[in-house]
């Protein structure tokens, strides 16, 4: 599979790069960003943190706003940030041009309903195709962590809960914790997955956690002044499901913080260290 390098910037002794490639899973061209810390030049394979961004975002938001490169360079941690959905003229978006569905809003699931099922298979892309591509073309090991924000936080939690053994660590910022019960999730799931709500449970962290075959500790930060907290994010639903399941969850309510990248940048160091500790356990 060919990779087209479309951007390259030196950062904290390492390199931030962007690539375009043809995705067999999504049936379109995709762009991803990768930060290669200085240690990558040694040829030694390094652990990888996959970051999933939220609604309306691309691969650029996290890399430009989170301030993660300095610590990633110190920790010897590769960071990979895919786009949030398939894109292109051949990929259907929201017919009304809405921002919370279609392009930029793939919800990291595998769609089953036409016309979305042809392209919207972001779960398989993030969990299978992209790591295989990264590990074949960069000095990346199979020690993987996953994190994300909002819709991407939902994607990170679901990916870890659905695929035991795939990741060594997981965390999230302001994730959509119970999408089957929130407006964003109901809109997306009804279109991507159809009206049978029993099928939605496969993509809801609050419902998956009870029977998760692996118990990776969950680190979640949530701002208490997030305007989406009560109507869309619902972290208490995840807390309520994790406790009886005996699933370790550290849910940190951060006073005064909202949903923005100011919030993410304030606590990204804690998350990177959380992942590095697990990824370098060997």
Active site amino acids = 150, 226, 259
Enumerate the H helices of the chain as residue ranges.
60-65, 69-75, 122-124, 130-137, 151-162, 183-192, 205-208, 235-245, 261-279
- DSSP, collapsed to helix, strand or coil, labels residue 10 as strand
| 8 Å CB contact between 58 and 105 | no
Give, in degrees to the nearest 5, the angle at Cα 205 between 159 and 104.
60
Q: 109-118: which pairs have CB atoms within 8 A and are 24 or more residues apart? A: 109/158, 109/188, 109/189, 109/192, 109/193, 109/203, 111/192, 111/193, 112/192, 112/193, 112/194, 112/199, 113/191, 113/192, 113/193, 113/194, 116/92, 116/191, 116/192, 118/27
Contacts of 89 (CB under 8 A, 6+ apart): none
Rounded distance between C-alpha atoms, residue 72 and residue 95, angstroms:
40
Q: Among all chains, which residue has been given the structure tokens 């970051």? A: 51
For residues 272 and 79, what is the distance between their CA atoms, to the nearest angstrom?
10
CA angle 226, 227, 228 (to 5 degrees): 90
Name which of 251, 115, 112 is nearest 177 in CA terms.
251
């Amino acid at each position: 599979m060919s990779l087209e390098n479309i951007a390259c910037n030196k950062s904290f002794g390492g390199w931030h790069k962007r690539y375009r490639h043809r995705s067999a899973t999504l049936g379109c061209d995709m762009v991803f960003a990768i930060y290669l810390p200085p240690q990558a030049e040694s040829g030694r394979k390094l652990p990888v943190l996959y970051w999933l961004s939220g609604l309306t975002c691309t691969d650029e938001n996290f890399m430009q706003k989170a301030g993660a490169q300095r610590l990633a360079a110190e920790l010897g941690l590769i960071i990979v940030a895919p786009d949030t959905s398939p894109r292109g003229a051949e990929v259907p978006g929201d017919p009304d041009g809405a921002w919370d569905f279609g392009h930029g809003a793939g919800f990291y699931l595998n769609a089953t309903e036409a016309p979305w099922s042809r392209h919207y298979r972001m779960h398989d892309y993030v969990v299978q195709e992209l790591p295989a591509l990264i590990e074949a073309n960069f000095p990346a090991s199979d020690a993987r962590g996953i994190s994300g924000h909002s819709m991407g936080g939902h994607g990170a939690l679901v990916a870890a809960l659905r695929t035991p053994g795939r990741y060594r660590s997981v965390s999230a910022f302001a994730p959509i914790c119970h999408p089957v019960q929130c407006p964003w999730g109901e809109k997306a799931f009804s279109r991507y997955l159809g009206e049978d709500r029993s099928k939605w449970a496969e993509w809801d962290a609050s419902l998956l956690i009870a029977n998760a075959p692996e118990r990776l500790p969950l680190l979640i930060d949530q701002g208490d002044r997030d305007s989406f907290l009560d109507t869309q994010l619902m972290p208490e639903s995840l807390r309520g499901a994790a406790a009886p399941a005996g699933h370790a969850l550290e849910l940190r309510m951060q006073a005064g913080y909202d949903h923005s990248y100011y919030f993410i940048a304030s606590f990204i160091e804690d998350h990177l260290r959380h992942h590095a500790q697990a990824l370098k356990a060997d």
